[in-house]
């Protein structure tokens, strides 16, 4: 139990980057956010945008950090489009089943040249009769 507590408090690799303990190719920094080149880019210019505050998942950010983060995502997307061409993906993974490896919120901004670079195919499902209404009700009840 105690061990689990200390594990939670450990700095992620991205926090170590923000603190300057691990080197990075910094693209941008402001009071609440930080952006740097991904070390294993899909394409040259693949950039990660993170909140300085160590939070694992996007929905766990407070309003101010979320707003600052989205502003920086847009700022970097503009620079990526200007530098490498108008096509790019913005990808944010949350949790193991969503392919998140580093447990610190991050948005990938990935310049794209060709469809073969990333496989974004996904399987789809269908709503049963009446199910969509229940799903909608549940989602709306949880909107804050």
Cα angle, residue 29 at apex, residues 28 and 31 outer, rounded to 5°: 155
Q: Does residue 142 belong to the site contacting ligand AMP (CB under 6 A)?
A: no
3 state SS for 5-24: HHHHHCCCHHHHHHCCCCCC
Stretch that binds ligand AMP, among 63-71, 77-85, 95-103, 124-132 (CB under 6 A): 95-103
**Phi and psi, residue 65, nearest 5°:** -70, -40
Burial of 91 (0-12, 13-18, 19+ CB in 10 A): middle
Cα separation, 24 vs 65, whole angstroms: 22
- The reply to whether 106 belongs to the active site is yes
Stretch that binds ligand AMP, among 36-44, 71-79, 122-130, 135-143 (CB under 6 A): 36-44
Query: Contact at 8 Å (CB) between 106 and 50?
Result: yes
Q: Does residue 40 belong to the site contacting ligand AMP (CB under 6 A)?
A: yes
Q: Does residue 102 belong to the site contacting ligand AMP (CB under 6 A)?
A: yes
Q: Which is nearer to ligand AMP, 101 or 139 (CB)?
A: 101
Q: Does residue 65 belong to the site contacting ligand AMP (CB under 6 A)?
A: no
Q: Which is nearer to ligand AMP, 42 or 79 (CB)?
A: 42
Can you tell me which of 13, 70, 90, 118 binds ligand AMP, judged by CB under 6 A? Answer: 13
Cα separation, 119 vs 112, whole angstroms: 12
Can you tell me which of 29, 39, 83, 85 binds ligand AMP, judged by CB under 6 A? Answer: 39
Task: For the CB of residue 12, give the shortest distance to ligand AMP in the complex, in Å.
Answer: 10
């Amino acid at each position: 139990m105690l061990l689990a507590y200390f594990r939670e408090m450990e700095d992620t690799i991205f926090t170590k980057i923000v603190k300057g303990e691990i080197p990075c190719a910094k693209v941008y920094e402001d009071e609440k956010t930080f952006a740097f080149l991904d070390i294993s880019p899909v394409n040259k210019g693949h950039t990660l945008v993170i909140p300085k505050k160590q939070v694992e998942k996007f929905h766990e950010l407070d309003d101010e950090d979320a707003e600052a983060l989205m502003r920086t995502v847009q700022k970097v997307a503009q620079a990526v489009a200007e530098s490498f061409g108008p096509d790019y993906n913005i990808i944010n993974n949350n949790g193991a089943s969503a392919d998140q490896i580093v447990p610190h919120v991050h948005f990938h901004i990935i310049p794209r040249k060709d469809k073969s670079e990333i496989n974004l195919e996904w399987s789809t499902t269908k709503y049963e009769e009446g199910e969509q209404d229940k799903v909608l009700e549940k989602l709306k009840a949880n909107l804050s």
